[in-house]
Structure 1
């Protein structure tokens, strides 16, 4: 897991349209990199809607929100269309970026163990250093909590 004060690992991932987005190309005072387990899963949908609802407020705070999960571009397209989302969601189909960030690993659900992405968010400054890490994320309140932290800096 990437610690606070460390530089965030670089990445270049595809969005729903197949356009490559690199962390270094994000030009903002703050970058919110939120990892979520799966497109269209209940908690992931709630969290995405929260970021979508606050999109203008994040923009006004000079912050860019980037969501990352497994699944391909087609999965991102379906998720965005079905849920009417315009936030930036990127495909980490081989889990390489999730692994670099330390958020991909063993999970348990209903007595079963499997590998997947844990719901973790990294708040980065303009130099792409981690200024806050959110490990225990509640999808319903998390987007507002991140925005509150940004506006308190």
Structure 2
């Protein structure tokens, strides 16, 4: 699949959230969506990123954004992550990695001399009509919320 770029239509998706409710891209039509992909619940970088978005959610909402996180973790894992970190947004369970593949963020990673497949931490900002408006592929986990706000100032 070709790498997505700004101006491309966002790939449609369908997945269950932490509560078992089916969510689709169409559910967010008419609102700006911050769709962020992260590797794993309760890991240091992913926790820092989620907490940054949690802490900035009110500001992001005032700017017209909804926040949705996506990882290959299960609904149950997401429930625990939300409870432990007090997260205030939806997490989607992409256990079959179909959403990650559609968005081109499932790929080869290298860590400590080892090569493996995993989520390439990426955030897509999707406009009200379902078009990709911005892509963050160099995510600053500790201040990701500020990184998004800065891009819109």
Give the counterpart of 1:117 among 101, 106, 119.
119
Is the 8 Å Cα contact of residues 28 and 62 (structure 1) preserved in structure 2?
Answer: no
Greater displacement, 73-82 / 141-150: 141-150
Give the counterpart of 1:83 among 85, 96, 104.
85
Runs of 5+ consecutive residues of structure 1 not aligned to the other structure: none
Moved over 4 A (4+): none
Q: How many corresponding residue pairs? A: 151
Q: Note the alpha carbon deviations across 1:15-52, whole angstroms, 9 max, x for none.
A: 11101111111144411111001111100000000000
CA separation in 2, counterparts of 1:148 and 1:24? 27
Greater displacement, 108-117 / 24-33: 24-33
Aligned alpha-carbon RMSD (Å): 1.1
CA separation in 2, counterparts of 1:100 and 1:47? 22
Tell me how far 1:147 sits from its aligned partner. Answer: 2.4
Greater displacement, 81-90 / 115-124: 81-90
Partner residue in 1 for 2:26: 24
Q: Give the TM-score taking structure 1 as reference length.
A: 0.94
Q: Note the alpha carbon deviations across 1:47-103, whole angstroms, 9 max, x for none.
A: 000000011111111110111001110110111111111211111001011001000
Partner residue in 1 for 2:68: 66
Q: Give the TM-score taking structure 2 as reference length.
A: 0.94
Give the counterpart of 2:40 among 21, 38, 41.
38
Secondary structure, in 3 states, of the residue corresponding to 1:94?
Answer: coil
Partner residue in 2 for 1:5: 7
Runs of 5+ consecutive residues of structure 2 not aligned to the other structure: none
